[in-house]
Structure formats: structure tokens, C-alpha cells
Amino acid sequence: MRKSGARVKDFRDSCRAAGVNSTRTRLPRAVLFRQNGKMETIFQLATADDLPAMLALYRHLSPEDPPLSPDEAAASWHALLDAALSHLLVAEVEGMVAASCLSLIVPNLTRGGRSFAIVENVVTHAAYRRRGLASRLLRMARDRAMAAGCYKMMLATGRTDENVLRFYEQAGFTRGGKTFFEMRWLD
């Protein structure tokens, strides 16, 4: 049986042969955007320095979760940033991480060997909602997935608020396209 590291290396090699630099595509690392000449926003991949800001931002996603200290989160954070398959996209508004989404590019043996993408943890700080930050991050995730040769991008949400569901539809996702099941060990 092959080690998972060998599978990842083979996937990276096949991506390079297809002209894609692993799943870290040739798309720009950061995009600067000005809205109405006032708000300067940088859309980019998260960096190691973003951990405290991300811990604070995730309080807006799941406020009922017990908070993690930076020390508790450091190992997972660095593993996430170092994983070739993950893209943690952030929107930084005037120096503050105001929104993010996590995109995973998953190698696949069906659909002609084309990968697929999964989006999780889409969150915008309450003070920055309705400014298009999450929409732009989802477009960046889609662009990265398409550049990596993915045939689809999936998103599951536990939210039932109709406005949130319409937001995802407006971003291009189809409601009810698949039946989603979940196994959960922790509440």
C-alpha cells in the first residue's frame, strides 16, 4: 500500500505535467480592490500571521464553539496553510481580516481523473457583511478550482436562513443538486 505522501506527490507531478502548479494555480496571490474610492480590500491567500485574526473571525461563524487559544490552534493552522490541497482565502479590509473561505481541491479517479473542490467555513465579520466580500472570495475559490481542472465545486451549509441560501444560489451554487449526509462525532 502506498503512503499518502506518495499519492500527493504523484498528484502534484500530474498537475505540473498538465501545466498546473499543483493545486496552487498560477492565479495571482493577492488582488487589490477599492470600493467607492473609500475601502481598500486585499483578497489573498491567508498567511501564517493571520492566525489570531482568523480565530477572531471564526467567532462570527460559530459563536457557540469554545474559543481556541493561538497555542492550541497553531499546529492545525500550519498544517492547513502547508497542505497543497487547501486554499484559505481571506479578504483584508484596511488591515483587518474581514472575511474568509476555505477551498479544498481533491484529487479524483472518476470524471476522467478531474479533481473537485469543496468549500467550507465561509464567514464575514458582522460589521462587514453585505459588501460583496464573501461573493468575491467564492469567485476566487471557483477560479482556482477551474484553473486546477476541477469539474465541480461543492458547498454544504448548516444554515437554514433563506437569505443565506439565496446568497449561495446567487454565487452560482445549485440548491438540492445532491443529497448531503453527515456523520458528526462532536457537537
Beta bridge partners of 56: none
pTM for this one?
0.78
Q: Which of 7-16, 19-28, 45-54 has the highest mean pLDDT?
A: 45-54
4-170 CATH fold: Aminopeptidase (3.40.630)
Domain limits, the chain: 4-170
Average pLDDT over residues 171-184: 86
Is the confidence at residue 22, as pLDDT, over 70? no
pLDDT value at position 72?
Answer: 83
Contact 90, 100 (CB under 8 A): yes
Residues 6+ apart with CB under 8 A from 91: 41, 42, 43, 97, 98, 99, 100, 124, 128, 133, 134, 136, 137
Q: Residue 15's pLDDT band (boundaries 50, 70, 90)?
A: very low
Residues 6+ apart with CB under 8 A from 90: 43, 44, 45, 46, 50, 54, 97, 99, 100, 137
Q: Residue 115's pLDDT band (boundaries 50, 70, 90)?
A: very high
- Sign of the dihedral defined by the CA atoms of residues 58, 60, 64, 67, in that order: positive
- Chain mean pLDDT for the chain: 82
